[in-house]
Chain A
Amino acid sequence: SSELTQDPAVSVALGQTVRMTCQGDSLRSSYATWYQQKPGQAPILVIYGKNNRPSGIPDRFSGSSSGNTASLTISGAQAEDEADYYCDSRDSSGNLLFGTGTKVTVL
């Protein structure tokens, strides 16, 4: 399959932990990358590689993977974490594939 499937929406209470998933065959051979996008803004990179955060990304963001499923966890969610989150991976041809996106609501 050449798709990356994400949960459409998740919610989390302020300060609690939320985990969102990304499923697809390409994840068996490559790590997922994760992006955050707030309304009206460009996406920003939050996790790349096995579990790497670019400078400026809080350590409450972490990534993991198992088989064909990658996960992004926000530990101690803050109000500013409310956003859409997208995963991506690269296939064997070098093409990039984005997931369907997850809308995170912080209650």
Chain B
Amino acid sequence: QVQLVESGGGVVQPGRSLRLSCAASGFTFSIYGMHWVRQAPGKGLEWVAFISYDEKKKYYADSAKGRFTISRDNSKNTLYLQMNSLRAEDTAVFYCARDYLPFDSNGVGPWGQGTLVTVSS
């Protein structure tokens, strides 16, 4: 079955960097667009970034532009999020999620279980 497993979260000081990974299995990773979505404690969902199946398109939320970089390695079935210059307001559970359909931007799912990033001194 489809599995998305995030890793790399933890406690980090403001201004430092962190790299999240998402290991995908159970489907042909290389034909699906992928997203990172975050959720601050007790808050709603906030889309962070998207990468197309072929890496040709990358989109970022304004809050992520210039600080976060989304990438993927289709040979390793893995999605990444490099986060630099982290701020307290970046504290959230970060979810990896797949476009529902291949080569299509209509609906996001399934989602991983998330990895918690806490930015604190």
Contacts and interface: CB of A to CB of B under 8 A. Distances in A.
Interface of A: 31, 33, 35, 37, 42-45, 48-49, 52, 54, 84, 86, 88, 90, 93-101
A45 B112 contact: no
A44 B47 contact: no
B47 A95 contact: yes
Interface string B32-71: 0001010000001111001000000101110000000000
B111 A42 contact: yes
B45 A94 contact: no
A95 B61 contact: yes
A96 B114 contact: no
Interface in B73-109: 95, 100, 105-109
User: Ordered nearest first, which 3 A-B pairs have the shortest CB separation?
Assistant: A48-B107, A45-B109, A96-B47
A45 B100 contact: yes
Contacts of A49: 106-107
Interface of B: 35, 37, 44-47, 50, 57, 59-61, 95, 100, 105-114
Given A48-B107, A90-B105, A98 B57 contact: no
Given A45-B109, A45-B110, A54-B100, 15 more contacts: A35-B109, A37-B45, A42-B114, A45-B108, A48-B106, A48-B107, A54-B109, A86-B45, A90-B105, A94-B105, A96-B37, A96-B47, A98-B46, A98-B47, A101-B45
Nearest to B93: A42
Contacts of B44: 84, 86, 98-101
14 contacts: A31-B106, A33-B106, A33-B107, A35-B108, A42-B95, A42-B110, A42-B114, A43-B45, A45-B108, A48-B100, A49-B107, A84-B44, A93-B59, A100-B44
